[in-house]
């Protein structure tokens, strides 16, 4: 289809309670700069039920406009209801490009919508820009096992659509509301929704690993040597109030579940502090954590590539360094130390 406007859309995925998932708000940050380069407005599209909090959040994080579709059929994600609603909006308004968070739902919705609209989709982008020469979105994503980054343009079809992993971009600081809010009465009849949600089962405590919104992450790699090697990692994480991450080598060895994996085939994270312990710094690991604000690496090999991107490096045995560090932090906080 032809674009009718130069607007850039960001899909704001909502939780069951109508609040916005972080990734949509994060995408408003690159969206703002891209929309300015495209010469159009930045529009947030909120679909859900009881969405007031999500609308406010989208407006506070930079959207010029918020298009809202609210109804009970959108309380929990279904492919049919969301794809019908989003395609209808795109056909009506004709944006030139659209960003979708690469969550489980976003990865389901994006290709479905792209296919119905007969346009392309670049999945799992790690960088976004506008190509100066053509004015198309320049979607960058890892290719060939992460060994090179490919930049993809979609010159012929509109809208240009891409999914972006949570944690790649950071939310802007909230500002006062000034967005135009447009409410669309768009209801999808029950017979058009082919799946039925029978029950929502909460993840059991402990199995939930929220690396993407963690402010501090302590990660262990093959250097921890076994499942018990994660004990000093967990001890440090506990005193810091941090979440435990891992390299794929540690996950593949069965020392820690995949939900802890950071990297190209794991989570993309952007904490304030990332402490990498016994992790060499393979490009596929860096793809998931290099945008952390401060990176500390602990590795006994002074030539480990992780030191190339670390802000602080400690060359030594993690089994000596981590307990010492944990004890110092406990002492500083007046919590008493282990020896
Ligand atoms: P290693 O590379 O073996 O490094 C272990 C490090 O520990 C070494 O630097 C060593 O000096 C240090 N060490 C050992 N003992 C100690 C000690 N006692 N104290 C301190 N340091 C010590 N990897 C990911 O992490 N995430 C991904 O999402 C991911 N996706 C991938 C996708 C594809 C398609 C491919 C091909 C690979 C992927 N990988 C991923 C794997 C990646 O290439 C590396 O193999 C992996 O990251 C290595 O993990 P590591 O650093 O823990 O292990």
Residue 327: CB atoms within 10 A of its CB come to: 18
> What is the per-residue pLDDT for 337?
59
Residue 131 has pLDDT above 70, yes or no: yes
Q: Are 253 and 200 in contact (CB under 8 A)?
A: no
Which residues approach ligand 1 with their CB closer than 6 A?
145-146, 221-223, 247-250, 261-266, 278-280, 282, 284-285, 288, 298-301, 304, 317-319
Q: What is the mean pLDDT of residues 121-148?
A: 92
> What would the pLDDT profile of 260-280 be if each residue is shown by its tens digit?
999 999 999 989 999 999 999
In order, the DSSP letters of 57-83 are HHHHTT-SEEEEEE-GGGSS--HHHHH
Least confident range of 41-45, 170-174, 243-247 = 170-174
Residues 233 and 246: their CA atoms lie apart, in Å, by 10
Nearest Cα residue to 81 out of 92, 72, 90:
72
Tokens for 266, please give them: 């794991």
Closest CA to ligand 1's atom 45: 249
* 338 band by pLDDT with thresholds 50, 70 and 90: low
Q: Work out the burial of residue 203: count CB atoms within 10 Å of its CB; fewer than 13 is exposed, 13-18 middle, 19 or more buried.
A: exposed
**Residue with token string 């999808």:** 188
Between 244 and 142, the higher pLDDT residue: 244
In order, the DSSP letters of 153-215 are ---SSSSEEEEE-TTSS-PPPP-----EEEE------GGG---------PPPTTT----TT-S
pTM for the whole structure: 0.81
- 259 CA from centroid of ligand 1 (Å): 16
Consecutive H or E run containing 282: none
Residue 18 has pLDDT above 60, yes or no: yes
Percent of the chain with pLDDT over 90: 85
Tell me which DSSP letter residue 19 carries. P
Q: What is the mean pLDDT of residues 135-160?
A: 92
Closest CA to ligand 1's atom 37: 284
């Amino acid at each position: 289809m032809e674009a009718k406007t130069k607007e850039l859309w960001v899909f704001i995925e909502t939780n069951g309670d109508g609040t916005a998932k972080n990734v949509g708000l994060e995408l408003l940050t690159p969206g703002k700069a891209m929309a300015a380069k495209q010469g159009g407005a930045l529009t947030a599209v909120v679909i859900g039920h009881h969405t007031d909090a999500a609308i406010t959040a989208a407006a506070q994080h930079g959207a010029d406009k918020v298009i809202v579709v609210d109804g009970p059929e959108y309380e929990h994600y279904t492919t049919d209801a969301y794809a019908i609603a989003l395609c209808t909006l795109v056909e009506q308004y004709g944006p030139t490009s659209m960003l979708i968070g690469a969550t489980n739902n976003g990865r389901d919705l994006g290709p479905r919508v792209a296919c119905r609209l007969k346009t392309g989709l670049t999945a799992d982008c790690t960088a976004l820009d506008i190509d100066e020469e053509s004015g198309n979105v320049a979607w960058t994503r890892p290719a060939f096992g992460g060994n090179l980054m490919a930049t993809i343009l979609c010159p012929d079809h509109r809208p240009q659509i891409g999914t972006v992993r949570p944690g790649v971009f950071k939310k802007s600081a909230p500002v006062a509301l000034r967005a135009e809010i447009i409410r669309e009465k768009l209801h999808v009849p029950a017979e058009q929704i082919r799946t039925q949600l029978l029950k929502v089962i909460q993840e059991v405590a402990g199995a939930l690993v929220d690396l993407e919104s963690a402010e501090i992450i302590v990660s262990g790699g093959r250097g921890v040597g076994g499942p018990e090697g994660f004990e000093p990692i967990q001890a440090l994480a506990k005193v810091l109030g941090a979440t435990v991450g891992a390299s794929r080598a540690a996950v593949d060895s069965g020392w820690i579940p995949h939900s802890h994996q950071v990297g190209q085939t794991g989570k993309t994270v952007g904490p304030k502090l990332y402490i990498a312990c016994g992790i060499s710094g393979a490009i596929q690991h860096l793809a998931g954590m290099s945008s952390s604000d401060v990176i500390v690496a602990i590795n006994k090999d002074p030539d480990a590539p992780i030191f190339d991107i670390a802000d602080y490096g400690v060359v030594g045995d993690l089994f000596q360094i981590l307990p010492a560090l944990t004890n110092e932090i406990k002492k500083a906080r007046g919590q008493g130390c282990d020896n």
